[in-house]
Structure 1
Amino acid sequence: MHLALYAPGLGYYAHGSPKFGAMPGSGSDFVTAPELSPLFGRALAAQVADSLAATGTDEVWEFGAGSGALAAQLIAALDALGRPPARYTIVDVSGSLRARQRARLAPFAARVRWADRLPEALRGVVVGNEVLDAMPVKLLARVGGAWHERGVAISEQFWHSAHVDTAPEAIKTEANHNTPRTFTWADRPTALRPPADVEGAHDVVTEIHPQAEAFVATVAEALRRGGAGAAFFIDYGFPEAEYYHPQRSTGTLVCHRAHRVDDDPLANLGAKDITAHVDFTGVALAAQQAGVDVLGYTSQARFLLNCGLAAMMEASDLPTRATAMKLLAEHEMGELFKVIGLATPGHGAARGFAQGDRTHRL
C-alpha cells in the first residue's frame, strides 16, 4: 500500500494527476470537504482559533494539505477572527501536491512553509483532513478459524508468462488487463489480531492501523514536549466496536478513481487512491498513551454545526448553501466522517464537541 501510494514517480500521490475535484470531467478521482465548500474551513477555523487562544500558541500545522484549499480557508478565516497564525506549516510527502499548494497559497507566502517531518517538540494546533485514511494498513484474514496476515505476491500466471530476466521491467510497465495479472493475494499465519474480537466463526477480512496510530502518538508526544497544543483529525471511520462488528466481514479497504469506488487495490497500481476507514478508538488510545487528552469525538455534521456552520450557511447564497449541505447530510459526509480532538492538559472544553459528543462510544 505504501509503494502504491508513495513510491517516487510511480505512486498515486507521487505523480501529477489532478486527484481532487468535484466532477470526473476534471480528471479528478474524489472530492474532499474543503474542495466542496469554503464554509468547511471557515467553520473549522472557529475551533482552531479557540485552541490557539486556549494553548497560548500562534502556529498551525497541517498534514496532507492536498490542493491547499483548507490551508487557504483557515488562514483567511483565522485572520478575520483576529487570530492570524504567525506561521502555517504544511507536512506533505507529495512533491507534485506541494507545487500546487505553493501556487494556491501565494497570497500567504510570507507565513507558509513546508516541512518534511514533525519537530521533536511542537507548540500550536495541528489539523489533518483525510490524512489518517491514506496511511498504509495491515490486512488480517480469518480463514477457517485461523488468523493470517494477507500480503501481496507475484502471481504464478505472471511468472509463467514472463521470462525471469525481464519480469521486473514487465511489472513496472504492465498497463492493461490483457496482460497476465502481476500481483495476487497471499496469506501467512500470524500472531497479529484485531484489537477487538470479531464474534462468530465466519471468515473475515479486516485491517489494523499500526502506522496511523504510531503517527498520532508521534504528534501527541511532540505536543506534550512543546508544552501546549491541540490536534483535530477529520476522517471517515468508526469506533472499535463498529469497526470490528461481525457484519463488517470484508473490511473497509477500497480504491477511488474517477469518482468511482472499487475493491481491487491490486489493479491499476499507482493510478488510483487506496484507503481504509479509521479506527478512532485506536487513535484515542494512542494519543492518551502518549500523554495528551481527548477533547471529544463526534460526527462531522455535529462538529461543524457546533462551530457555527448553520449561521454561515444562512448568510450565504443558495449555491453555497447547497454544497455546504453535503458536509452535513447523513447520506453524504455528515455521518460517515468523524472528528476527534486531542490536546495537552489544561485546554478546557472545545466548542466543536459542545453537543453530540460521542467520546463514551470510543
Structure 2
Amino acid sequence: MQKTASLPLPSPDALAQSVTLTSHIGAALDAAGGWLPFSRFMELALYAPGLGYYSGGASKFGRGVADGGDFITAPELSPLFGRTVARQLAEVMEEHGLDRIIEFGAGTGQLAAQILGELAALGVPCREYAIVELSGELRARQQVALAAHAGQVVWLDALPERIEGIVLGNEVLDAMPVRVWARRHGLWREQGVRRAGDGFAWQPAPDAFSAPLDVPAALAQVPGGHDIQTETHEAGEAFIASVAERLERGLVLLFDYGFPAAEYYHAQREHGTLMCHYRQHAHDDPFFLPGLQDITAHVNFTGIAQQAMAHGLTLAGYTSQARFLMNAGLMEMLMELDPRDATTFLPASNAAQRLLSEAEMGELFKAIALTRDIDTGTLSGFARGDRAHRLLTDA
C-alpha cells in the first residue's frame, strides 16, 4: 500500500470540501461523546449529504489522474463487460418473460448503456431500466451517457417496494459501511474513531467484548487465537435482505471483489481488507482527506448468500468474474473483431486480458446470482466453474 505523504494534493476547492466534511464528522463525534464506530465514520465520509465521497460533486471513475478518476471499474475498462452481462440477462429475460432491470449504483452509466445496446442488438425488449442512484453528480453523468435511451431509463431514490425483474449491481456491496474489529490477546473489541489534531485516528471501543454473544456471529469463523483485525458487513447483509424482501420474481446478479468466509477470515489476512482509493492510488488510511477518497472493504460472499437464502432466495451461482465472462461469451465477442485491425482489436484484447487475468480483475472479482420463483436450471454464466458449494460449506 502507498503512503499518503506521496499522494497528489487536491485542488483548493476539493480541500475546502474535505475540511467542511471533517468538521461535520467531528461534530457528530462530539455529539456521541468522543467516539464513533468506524461504520458510522465510513457512512459519513462516503454519504454525508452534499459532502461525502459519493454524495458530493467530485469525479470518481476514470482511467487516470488526468480525467479526475480515483479508480476504474469493469464497464469503463471495456464495453465487452456490459455486453457479456447483457447476454446473461437476455437469457433470463427471454426464458421468463422479464422486461425490467433495476441497477443499484450505476456509476457513470456505462454499464447501463452497454446492456441496453446489446439487448437491442439481440432483439430482447427491456420495457424499463431503473437506476437507484444516491449521488446527484453521478445521476447527471448517467443522464448524459444514457440520453439515447431516454424512453427506457428512469431514476429512483430507493428500491421499489415490489420488484419483478432483474436487480443488478457492479461494485455496490464493497462501498457499504463495515464495522471493524480487532482481536487482541483473545478478546474482541470494536474499532472506532476519535479526534486527533485536525483529523481522526483509530480508537478501540470503550468496553472490551469477550463473551461469544457480544460479538457478531461471523467472527466465530476467525480461526485460532492470534491477534487480527477484520470487518463485519451488517450494512451489506441488510441491503441484500431488503432486496430479497422486495423481490417477488426474478434474478439478482452482483459483481464485486471478495471471498467466501473461510478465505475472508483466513489467519493470514491478519490486517483485514479495508482499503482506500485516491487518484488511482491504493492505500490503507481511511482518515486521509475525508470525502475525497473511496473507502472500501472486500465482500464476505458467504454472509451475502446466508442472508439471501434466509429471506427465501435461491443461490443460483457463484464464480469468478473471469469464469462468468468466459461462460457468457466474452471471448466469442472478442473474436468477432478483425485481428488485422490493430487500432480496434489490440485495445479490446488488452482490456479483455485485464477483465480475465488472475493478476488483474479476473479472480479477485466474483459474480453471484440469486433468484426467486424462476427455474433457471443452470445460468450460462455459471455453467462451468460454479463455486456455490464453497459458500454453502461455509454457511
TM-score, length-scaled by structure 2: 0.83
Contact conserved, 1:147 with 1:193, CA < 8 A, in 2? Answer: no
Distance 2:217 2:287 in 1: 23
SS state of the match for residue 14, structure 1?
coil
Tell me the C-alpha RMSD between the 2 structures: 1.2
Distance 2:126 2:204 in 1: 49
- State the Cα deviation string for residues 273-301 of structure 1 (Å, max 9, x = none): 00000000111111111111011000000
Residue 390 (structure 2) pairs with residue 361 (structure 1): yes
Distance 2:375 2:89 in 1: 12
Residue 156 of structure 2: aligned partner? 115
Distance 1:268 1:74 in 2: 35
SS state of the match for residue 174, structure 2?
helix
Contact conserved, 1:61 with 1:127, CA < 8 A, in 2? Answer: yes
Contact conserved, 2:191 with 2:202, CA < 8 A, in 1? Answer: no
Residue 216 of structure 1: aligned partner? 240
Residue 371 (structure 2) pairs with residue 336 (structure 1): no
SS state of the match for residue 298, structure 1?
strand
Contact conserved, 2:221 with 2:261, CA < 8 A, in 1? Answer: no
Q: How many residues align?
A: 336
- Counterparts of residues 122-201 of structure 1 (less than 5 Å): 122-155=163-196, 158=197, 180-188=198-206, 189-190=208-209, 191-193=214-216, 195=218, 196-201=220-225
SS state of the match for residue 20, structure 1?
coil
Contact conserved, 2:276 with 2:283, CA < 8 A, in 1? Answer: yes
Residue 50 of structure 2: aligned partner? 9
Residue 39 of structure 1: aligned partner? 80
SS state of the match for residue 205, structure 2?
strand
Contact conserved, 1:75 with 1:84, CA < 8 A, in 2? Answer: no
Residue 297 (structure 2) pairs with residue 268 (structure 1): no
Structure 1: gaps spanning 5 or more residues: 159-179
Distance 2:55 2:374 in 1: 40
Structure 2: gaps spanning 5 or more residues: 1-41, 338-344
Instruction: State the one-letter code of the partner of 1:185.
Output: Q
Distance 2:387 2:224 in 1: 27
- State the Cα deviation string for residues 109-131 of structure 1 (Å, max 9, x = none): 11100111112210001110000
Instruction: State the one-letter code of the partner of 1:245.
Output: H
Distance 1:192 1:201 in 2: 15
- Counterparts of residues 47-66 of structure 1 (less than 5 Å): 47-66=88-107
Following TM superposition, by how much is the alpha carbon of 1:194 offset from its aligned partner in structure 2, in angstroms? 5.2
Instruction: State the one-letter code of the partner of 2:226.
Output: H
Following TM superposition, by how much is the alpha carbon of 1:323 offset from its aligned partner in structure 2, in angstroms? 1.0
Deviates more, 1:283-292 or 1:48-57: 48-57
Distance 1:276 1:54 in 2: 36
Residue 350 of structure 1: aligned partner? 379
Residue 310 (structure 2) pairs with residue 289 (structure 1): yes
Distance 1:334 1:20 in 2: 19
Contact conserved, 1:90 with 1:112, CA < 8 A, in 2? Answer: yes
Aligned sequence identity (%)? 52
SS state of the match for residue 123, structure 1?
strand
Structure 1 stretches of 4+ with a deviation exceeding 2 A read 180-190
Residue 109 (structure 2) pairs with residue 68 (structure 1): yes
User: Which one of the candidate residues 320, 325, 340 is aligned to 2:348?
Assistant: 320
Distance 2:75 2:385 in 1: 23
Contact conserved, 2:50 with 2:57, CA < 8 A, in 1? Answer: no
Distance 2:202 2:331 in 1: 48
Residue 13 of structure 2: aligned partner? none
TM-score, length-scaled by structure 1: 0.90
Deviates more, 1:246-255 or 1:313-322: 313-322
SS state of the match for residue 57, structure 2?
coil
